[in-house]
Structure 1
Amino acid sequence: MAAWKMAYHANCWGPLGGDAVGVTSIGRLAYRTFGDMERAAREIAAAGYEGIEFFDGNVLDDAGEPSEDVRRILSATGLDLVAVYSGANFIFADILDEELGRIERAAKAARSLGAEHLVVGGGARRLAGVRDGDYDALAAGLDKVVALAERHGLAAHYHPHLSTIVETPDQVARIFETTAIGFCPDTAHLAAAGGDPAALVRAHAARISYVHLKGWQREPFAFTPVGEGDCDNGAVIRALKEIGYEGWVCNELDAWADPAAGARESLDFVRAEAAKA
């Protein structure tokens, strides 16, 4: 598995939320894990990972600058900051500049802290349903993310996500017909939306330079360690090997009673499956 470097997302060490000020200030609405990020990093490093991914709200301080706490944590644990995850509605023209300004601040912080990748989700699903032009607006916004990421020396990736207008395989194909952004497959979200993650990896191989692996179970709905549940991550690992993927693979788990144990279990699974492949 020499061509793969393994990272883990810090989101399992506390509840996921958004900064409440974003209700009245779109430009300050960031994702955040409300937990002890130092503990998360220590346990991720102890599990055997080389890298870590944070949400945008966790890498920015109160003034919107790169977090010195995160810089200290990275130095103390020896982990590389691999990626920062952000997102936006993208389809509402009146607020797009505010959203992009916030994403650019996250990109600036990510690069300052040593990251290589910027991952974004989004494409709001309106309460009344999708309107004509929403996919075009999303694609245009994602192309602007590509440009701002390049300004900061980052590779930009789009992460299809449940509850957005890009969930299903057809929707994934549709958005990638009209934007130049890279594809960060999150295997659990793709499977839960009715897709075959391994097939999607093969179909969009040329766009993939960063990967999220996550487990998912159908009943009751839950995210799980990478090797558990109804998402065949073994098949995804084989597909990644077939397309000659090299680079960072980020395991992820949104919530787990023992986050450190979930991190170890996921890494053991990926190593074993990659060795078999």
Structure 2
Amino acid sequence: MANFRVGLNPLPWVLGADGFNLTEPVLRTAFAEIRTTPFRGIHADPPPSLDAAGYRALLAEYGLEPAPGYFSVDLNAGNLTETAKRHAAIQAELGNTEVFLATGLTTERIAHPSIGYGGLLPGVIDAIGAAAEAITSEGVTPALHPHVGSSIEIESEIRAVLDAVPASILAFGPDTGHLAWAGITPATLMSQYADRIVAAHLKDVHLGQAQAARDADATYFDATVTKFTVWTEPGRGDVDLPAAIATLPESFNGWIVVEVDVPEADTNLASTELSAEWVTGHLGTAVF
């Protein structure tokens, strides 16, 4: 078994019907509930009101600690490298040595998710490469994180980026749920790039719902929130999560971050408890 840690993204509390509400009061509510579960590592995303030291102190108040955060590349930003360096510096100050690196969601792919609508946008590879180089310069390893609805979502796009940007500046940070929703078998792709995986998101999907949403040409938000229930807690969907984890080499000692974007359980706490039960049952308690 690889020597990794398992953390949690508090998305169920932070992500609501009106979008992200990343504030200290919301985080305090989330952390107070999360600390009643085995999870201790938290996806690091400081609210605007807190610097790295303040955010770390907030986590420590609830017996929690930082796990790798997430940097989203804005393809239209003129200050991409400066923004990437600032984000990486915060992650480094928090003690993280890796960060997930993604591209932002696009209007077209929100409307037609999971199929690579419109093809790979010009400039995506160059932008990822520039952001990765900037993050690496701060002593943090960026890990490419494909995301349905973003500029990098289907297998050919993932391979194009990983094969074009040197492994010396860009690692791989797969998300089992986003890969599966995009029609990829996570374990297959992960095994082929296993030597570049430094962190991962553990997420489950109802593949039947994903296909129904695709057949209906449902938007990203219809697929995940209103008309279909694509996301679910680990073990309640159709992704072979143990097979995906088994692809990690013995040398892997990074974080696996559990994500349930939209809980299927009745409450956020119940959802997190179900996630903890799956992790404990399949990976043991030493990973928390």
Question: Could you state the TM-score of these two structures normalised by the residue count of structure 2?
Answer: 0.76
**Residue of 48, 66, 76 corresponding to 1:61:** 48
**How far 1:228 moved relative to its partner?**
1.2
Contact 2:68 2:255 in 1 (8 A): no
Partners of 1:265 and 1:127 in 2: how far apart?
Answer: 34
Q: Secondary structure at the match of 1:188?
A: helix
* Cα deviation 1:166-190 (Å, max 9, x = unaligned): 2222221111111131111100000
Output the CA distance in 1 between the equivalents of 2:99 and 2:133. Answer: 12
Task: Write the mapping of 1:229-248 to structure 2, written as runs, cut at 5 A.
Answer: 229-240=237-248, 245-248=252-255
Q: Among residues 132, 147, 151, which one is paired with 1:161 in the alignment?
A: 147
Structure 2 residue corresponding to 1:145, chosen from 131, 140, 143: 131
SS in 2 for 1:230: coil
1:134-156 deviation per Cα after TM superposition (whole angstroms, max 9, x unaligned):
2xx22222222222222322111
What is the rounded CA distance, in whole Å, between the counterparts of 1:46 and 1:193 in structure 2?
A: 34
Tell me, in whole angstroms, the C-alpha distance in 2 between the residues paired with 1:66 and 1:274: 34
Counterpart position of 1:106: 87
Query: Contact between 1:4 and 1:249, CA under 8 Å: does it hold in 2?
Result: yes
> What's the C-alpha RMSD, in Å, of the aligned pairs?
2.8
Task: Pick one of 227, 239, 264 that aligns with 2:235.
Answer: 227
1:131 and 1:212 map into 2 onto residues whose CA distance is 25
Q: Report the secondary structure of 1:42's partner residue.
A: helix
Q: Which has the higher contact order (CA 8 A, sep 6+)?
A: 2
Deviates more, 1:106-115 or 1:187-196: 106-115
5+ unaligned residues in a row in structure 1: which ranges?
A: 20-30
Residue 97 of structure 2: aligned partner:
116
Matched positions, count: 252
Tell me, what secondary structure is at the counterpart of 2:273?
Answer: helix
Code of the aligned partner of 2:59: L
Match of 1:8 in 2: 8
* Letter of the 2:232 counterpart: T
C-alpha separation between the residues in 2 aligned to 1:74 and 1:172? 33
1:194 Cα deviation after fit: 0.2
What letter matches 2:198 in structure 1? S
| Aligned residue in 2 for 1:50 | 40
Give yes or no for contact 2:59–2:66 (8 Å, CA) kept in 1: yes
Q: Which amino acid aligns with 1:41?
A: F
SS in 2 for 1:152: coil
Residue 28 of structure 1 aligns with which residue?
Answer: none
Percent identity over the alignment?
Answer: 22
Higher strand share: 1
Task: Tell me the distance in 2 between the aligned counterparts of 1:243 and 1:79.
Answer: 26
Segments of structure 2 that go 5 or more residues without pairing to the other structure are 110-116, 210-227
Using structure 1 for the length normalisation, give the TM-score: 0.79
